[in-house]
Amino acid sequence: MRNLSVFVALAVVGCNPDMSGTYQGSLDEVFTCDDGDSGSHSGLATWKITTNTNTLTINTSGFMTCGLIVGVPKGLGLAEMRAKECFSGGGAIVTLKSGGTLQLEGNKLRVKFENAATFVSSNGGVVGCQETVSGVLEEF
């Protein structure tokens, strides 16, 4: 029985692919805001992922950039992104909600996460928006 347990443990470890690499592709954003505004945007994103022992470092650039994001591998090509607050142009504060997922399938990285954005206008008005971002980035 002991040999079988060691074999099963090695098989599980072997099923967790290394996500390290540079990925590029289109991300789609769909949003709704408290003031009734809604819509969608798409853009080219480039993410460079470095795998560490228990974390991923995700350097985002292009569309929906948030600088460095930390991810936690969950096994079998899955990872969860940790929450982070980002600042973007136009007075927006964007909070990447926890629970965003990354799934590696061959050389394709499926991305899905949600944001909460708060926009502060020049006259002091505040508008909250909810965003869902998803897409497929391909390793190059």
**60 in Cβ contact with 66 (< 8 Å):** yes
Q: What is the pLDDT of residue 36?
A: 94
Q: What is the pLDDT of residue 7?
A: 31
Distance CA 28, CA 113 (A): 11
Distance CA 39, CA 6 (A): 52
Phi, psi of 7 (to 5 degrees): -60, -45
Q: What is the pLDDT of residue 111?
A: 94
Spell out where 1-140 has E strands.
21-33, 38-51, 56-62, 68-75, 78-81, 84-88, 92-96, 100-105, 108-120, 126-139
Question: By C-alpha distance, which of 65, 79, 61, 66 is closest to 20?
Answer: 79
**94 in Cβ contact with 85 (< 8 Å):** yes
Q: Is the pTM of this model over 0.75?
A: yes
Q: What is the pLDDT of residue 117?
A: 84
**112 in Cβ contact with 51 (< 8 Å):** no
Question: By C-alpha distance, which of 124, 136, 131, 137 is closest to 32?
Answer: 131
The pLDDT tens digits along the chain (140 residues) read 433 333 333 333 345 678 999 999 999 999 999 999 999 999 999 999 999 888 999 998 988 778 788 899 998 899 999 888 877 666 667 777 756 899 999 999 999 998 888 888 777 788 898 999 999 999 99
Alpha helices in 1-140 (DSSP H): 2-14
Domains of the chain: 18-139 (2.40.128)
